[in-house]
Chain A
């Protein structure tokens, strides 16, 4: 153990491929992993080692919540004592204020996963007489800072659902810069103008961003103060998620003997309990042992509130789980995403998990009313045998309309986020309104998130985050500036992420981290 620690640390220190900044972060992770894991029951311990349940490799001893969503509006209003920041009075000061604050927002990657609802935050600071080109220049400078200071594709900004000068400027800046950071989500409500969605669609054509989320559905689950962060994680602002633990449904089914009903009745309660136990141990360690909420300035200054946190309960490998159960039911031809029997089984399984989660109280999870949030976890780079979340396996997706029809009904069961990726042909770039139609339809049909990519795009979506194809070339030799690129390289090798079935009108994604 000690020898391994030394050799890994030596490897990092002497690496010619990893940059200084990433060496520091990885050495810190190595140190946290040298500490003993929070106490687990032998059954939970075994399930974790066999990776039936998984802690996302967050580290042995949590000292920060995984996802922190500071109330940036409150910070701008009141200032931040810890950082000796007064409330800003103009746009330049506001941008500077936020940039400084971001540097102190923790997460398991060390980079902030939420940058705020930037259009709403910044709009009040934009003077009416500021010309568009000057606004663009300011935001462009800010955007470059974000990408260079926070080089992590999980760093995520939200915009919408209303139109405004800042959101329009953000689209222009995005298209001109073509950066990986920040990840972007547009909140879409029935009142969001078509023209604004179309502008966002044109931005996707260039940068594979933003995602489109169902604003009314999110508000119903989380209230008006919510955001989509990291990749497809929807949580309360001024709150967040302590941790993300996930259940590999493929491996759960491998340890089960019967069919669908028996799996729901006998196996799922067992695995949901072990996943919850793992989460609870990590939450107690963070809140009670590390005392994060007692000491961190975000908590002490009221920019986050423990009562708005919960835990994310992720599931993945639903496709393999269902397909295997259908074999056992004597219906091997019934495949998930294609056959009503398989799709019904999938609904039954997810419905059962949602029910079990609502039966398992967790400490310090008042954000979710005392329970975990269900999340369709979109994979990590090491997942080899299981499809991301509740997605249809890559390359096996049906036509776009059928794909939407299969996915939409389960989206409502995942308040903490779910994603299905659609890959569209490049011809749609001449008719962006066609994508507006599809997005409206998909959200209206009950999808929580709609994400599409162009098959020709320089950007590829791994499991929810973006990398540039050109950044993956030669990664082994010269390293990469964005820490997420390393995950992406593994995912690209481990998955057939670039072979998703191409739809005539629509998009796709690639493989890790939730």
Chain B
């Protein structure tokens, strides 16, 4: 390594999944990191957006008595007592969860070690994983040092500085980037932020050969017009005409009440999205 970067070895972790078939190639161990720089209307796990502020509102919502405030007025979650009903998450008015906890790379490694013979690699997701890029780097470096066969992937909204991708470059095999919308005005409306960094990230990652796929989450009447999709296809094709693109139809499950109506596309609409995109490049299209 060119220079040794002091990376935090502890991250704010929402949860881990030992086996996942939907977070990159093969079976993967997934680490979900708490905290996101977007505030998407269509977010299906909004409790990962913010860090807990220790307000204690969720304590009463927990029938199992697994939540309390300690002597320093910090939230404490008793994992052994938790029955997993997620009543706390439903009660939280701040898009957070009392169950996200700081975890050290050293405490994640034994879990990864256990799953290692059964997986292709590790994926960090969120939340927005790049918000804790130092921790991601430390985690990936540890994984790479111990398991030569495992790949390290980042699942990201793409809103990260170029320096973040630079920081991760040595230890990250590839990234999966969400492109919520090519049109910046619509992007701002549905995510609360500009897409400028997202577009730059897609270009930069593709140029490094580290873009595994781009994901398009499409909502009826919001970001799914033929014109917009064709423009998106053209823009992506100019970067890589054989790009792997995952077309994901919006699903209401887990999503917060929205000020604008969000409508799920049906199977025919999803197939149509793929057709419009396919006209712009020889993409490897996956439709969900």
Residues of chain A at the chain B interface (Cβ within 8 Å): 399-401, 404-405, 424-425, 427-428, 430-431, 433-438, 440-442, 444-445, 503-506
Contacts and interface: CB of A to CB of B under 8 A. Distances in A.
A434 B21 contact: yes
A438 B286 contact: no
Nearest to B121: A437
Contacts of A433: 25-27, 120
B69 interface: no
B58 interface: no
Given A434-B27, A437-B26, A438-B27, A505 B20 contact: yes
A442 B27 CA distance: 13
Q: Size band of the B side of the interface?
A: 10 to 19
B208 interface: no
A430 B117 contact: no
Interface of B: 17-22, 25-28, 114-115, 117-120, 286, 288
A265 to B, nearest CB: 35
Given A436-B26, A437-B26, A504 B118 contact: no
Contacts of A445: 117-118
Contacts, number: 66
B22 A427 contact: yes
Contacts of A428: 21
Instruction: Name the residue in B18, B19, B115, B120 with the highest tally of chain A Cβ atoms < 10 Å from its Cβ.
Output: B19
A436 B19 CA distance: 13
Nearest to B17: A504
Given A431-B26, A436-B26, A437-B26, A505 B21 contact: yes
A426 to B, nearest CB: 10
Contacts of A441: 27, 117-119
A504 B117 CA distance: 18
16 contacts: A399-B18, A401-B115, A404-B118, A405-B114, A428-B21, A430-B21, A431-B22, A431-B25, A431-B26, A433-B120, A434-B26, A434-B28, A438-B118, A441-B119, A504-B17, A505-B20
B288 A505 contact: no
Contact of A431 (B18, B21, B119): B21
Contact of B27 (A405, A425, A435): A435
Closest 8 CB pairs of A and B: A441-B118, A434-B21, A437-B27, A434-B27, A505-B19, A428-B21, A441-B117, A431-B21
Contacts of B25: 431, 433
B114 A401 contact: yes
Instruction: Name the residue in B21, B25, B26, B114 with the highest tally of chain A Cβ atoms < 10 Å from its Cβ.
Output: B21
A444 B19 contact: no
A400 B20 CA distance: 11
Contacts of B21: 424-425, 427-428, 430-431, 434-435, 504-505
A100 B255 CA distance: 61
B153 to A, nearest CB: 13
Contacts of A427: 21-22
B19 A430 contact: no
A401 B22 contact: no
Contacts of B120: 433-434, 437
A504 B19 contact: yes
Contacts of A431: 21-22, 25-26
A424 B114 CA distance: 20
A336 to B, nearest CB: 21
Contacts of B28: 434
Contacts of A425: 21
A431 B119 CA distance: 13
B27 to A, nearest CB: 4
A435 B21 CA distance: 8
B178 to A, nearest CB: 17
Nearest to A505: B19
Nearest to A433: B26
Contacts of B22: 427, 430-431
